[in-house]
Structure 1
Amino acid sequence: MNGDLVDRGSWSIEVILTALAYKWLYPNRMFINRGNHETKEMNRTYGFEGEAKHKHGEQTYKLFAHLFTVMPLATLISATKPPVDSSNAILSPEGKKRFFVVHGGLFSKDGVTLDDIRKIERIGRQPGQEGLMCELLWTDPQEMPGRGPSKRGVGIAFGPDVTRRWCQANGVSGVIRSHEVRQDGYAIEHDGLCTTVFSAPNYVDQAGNRGAFIRIDAAGTQTYTQFDAKPHPPMKPMAYASGGMASLLS
């Protein structure tokens, strides 16, 4: 699960507790990345802090706030078999596909390695406004080559050439990220090296998008499953947000 489990609606507590229950039940099969909304500042603005305190009290929110800092910033998924067709694929040193799964995206500078990411001290820390942790949770792909300013005011936008260089340098077959609505639930970008997947259908009851998830088989082949929104009880999205804020910022 690739971040932003909370703040996406008015049942964030139920969503995150269900995910944690699966993590407890299947600790070696369930993995939950941190998103830019698993942070104190965003929870205060978009509603999770208010929801957690309303439903279960302040101490429960404090426990969640610490839990979010323990979540991984990214996950590396490695195929167990060589690909059927590797003619155009970037492969790991073992000759297999592997995918870098992260909520936001890549970096404001070249040369960042997987080891650099592993060494980030995350526990008990917030991402701030700059640096590797911030960029992992906040950046977005752009169509133009190179790097550009972020439409969000935090992080940067990175082009297809940036993605290719980073994947080649790290032996990564593709980046799988979330963080942005896609009308079909997913979009394959940057010449196939960057895939955005967004699993909240009809985001905040307004966007009209489908949701999707990705399945990766043993050879590293990706398939996509789309789904539509279902009716829910009459509670508006982000009902616990400060000032009643309901933004499409993801």
Structure 2
Amino acid sequence: MVVKRAPSDKDARRQLAECEKIVRRIEFEKAIEFEDADNSVADSINLDDIVVEDSYDGPRIKPEGIDSEFVDGMIARFREEKKIHKKYAYQIVLAVRQYFLEQPSLVDVDIPANHTLTICGDVHGQFYDLLNIFELAGKPSATHHFLFNGDFVDRGSFSIEVILLLFAYKWLYPNGFFLTRGNHETKDMNRMYGFEGETKSKFSEMMYKLFCKTFDTLPLAHVVQKKLFVVHGGLFSRDDPGRSPSKRGVGLQFGPDVTEKFLKHNNLDMVIRSHEVKDNGYVIEHDGKCVTVFSAPNYCDQMGNKGAYINVTDAGEVSYHVFEAVPQSAL
């Protein structure tokens, strides 16, 4: 701005050039740092070398793998605002990462007869609201499936607890618990909105780098019962007719013509997306063909919004459920 206002100021132009060099250097160092970490961090972790001390009084993963007893014990420990042992945290993330590496970026979700799928939007580190969802909707089980549509971490104070619980359920029910990548499952957002700092504080930089690598493997969208397209943000990013700059200040918003054309072309009935706070937890738009669901009530402890989730039956029937926030602390 100084250079624009005083283009003949040589000192200002010199300092601008120095700033540009610093920015380029930081971006270069960041790029090579994570390129190296992504290539080696998962392979560098040897679980056999990590000793669980006798003094550790939390839940333990059995040699045969995770079970519901461990998950329930982990929830109880998180309620006490205690950590699980780093060995088990690594074990959960590595198991889920390996599973996602073998999956496509677009996942088909079929609901078997007499089963239910619950679709949730952003939870953003609000651990106690996540537990409340499981209280209200019912816990994940062999017949009750879940799909969390991105933005699991950042902003809230319990992102580690949220992501470890979601990953644990994914490991426990690999074919009945689904996770979509959101815009906050990225390094830049984690650095700015809290997950990086929280992970390094509660565990280590190595754990954070492993999460970064794992986030890179998450699927980008799901198709439920061959009729519902579930994606975190929305449809496409080209600035064509029917699209305009988003009111949020970043990205694009898309209109009913875009939704209708996409659904017709792909023989689908509805788009379900998240990404935006809604006063009542959800909003139905575009002639009933585009639904936004947001599952972090009283977002950032100040918005006063309600949360919502969507139940889908094996017959494809859709119902909406709204809930209030609960205190984000065990104290």
Q: Give the structure-1-normalised TM-score.
A: 0.70
How far apart are 1:109 and its partner, in Å?
A: 4.3
Amino acid at match of 2:157: S
Query: Do structure 1's residue 185 and structure 2's residue 281 form an aligned pair?
Result: yes
1:126-165 matched pairs, under 5 angstroms = 146-165=242-261
For 2:295 and 2:218, how far apart are their aligned partners in 1? 19
Query: Do structure 1's residue 210 and structure 2's residue 306 form an aligned pair?
Result: yes
Q: Tell me if structure 2 keeps the 8 A contact 1:211–1:226.
A: yes
Extract unaligned runs of 5+ from structure 2. Answer: 1-147
For 2:297 and 2:326, how far apart are their aligned partners in 1? 8
Q: Tell me if structure 1 keeps the 8 A contact 2:239–2:252.
A: no
For 2:188 and 2:242, how far apart are their aligned partners in 1? 30
Match of 2:144 in 1: none
Tell me: higher relative CO, structure 1 or 2? Use CA pairs within 8 A at least 6 residues apart. 1
Match of 2:112 in 1: none
How far apart are 1:222 and its partner, in Å?
A: 0.8
Structure with the larger helix share: 2
Match of 1:94 in 2: none
SS of 1:71 mapped into structure 2: coil
Q: Give the structure-2-normalised TM-score.
A: 0.53
How far apart are 1:8 and its partner, in Å?
A: 3.5
Amino acid at match of 1:202: N
How far apart are 1:39 and its partner, in Å?
A: 0.3
How far apart are 1:146 and its partner, in Å?
A: 1.3
SS of 1:62 mapped into structure 2: helix
Amino acid at match of 2:243: R
Extract unaligned runs of 5+ from structure 1. Answer: 79-96, 112-144, 236-250
SS of 1:215 mapped into structure 2: strand
Q: Tell me if structure 2 keeps the 8 A contact 1:110–1:166.
A: no
Deviations 1:32-71 (A, max 9, x none): 0000000000000000000001110100000000110110
Q: Tell me if structure 2 keeps the 8 A contact 1:187–1:196.
A: yes
Q: Tell me if structure 2 keeps the 8 A contact 1:183–1:210.
A: yes
Match of 1:176 in 2: 272
For 1:2 and 1:174, how far apart are their aligned partners in 2? 15
Amino acid at match of 2:211: F
How far apart are 1:167 and its partner, in Å?
A: 0.5
For the aligned residue pairs, the C-alpha RMSD in angstroms reads: 1.9
Query: Do structure 1's residue 46 and structure 2's residue 193 form an aligned pair?
Result: yes
Aligned-pair identity (%): 62
Amino acid at match of 2:299: Y
Which structure's CA Rg is the greater one? 2
Query: Do structure 1's residue 14 and structure 2's residue 161 form an aligned pair?
Result: yes
For 2:210 and 2:247, how far apart are their aligned partners in 1? 32
For 1:188 and 1:56, how far apart are their aligned partners in 2? 40
Match of 1:200 in 2: 296
For 1:12 and 1:232, how far apart are their aligned partners in 2? 12
1:78-157 matched pairs, under 5 angstroms = 78=225, 98-109=227-238, 146-157=242-253
Match of 1:5 in 2: 152
For 1:199 and 1:8, how far apart are their aligned partners in 2? 14
Deviations 1:71-107 (A, max 9, x none): 00001111xxxxxxxxxxxxxxxxxx61010000001
Match of 2:214 in 1: 67
Match of 1:58 in 2: 205
Q: Tell me if structure 2 keeps the 8 A contact 1:99–1:172.
A: yes
Amino acid at match of 1:8: R
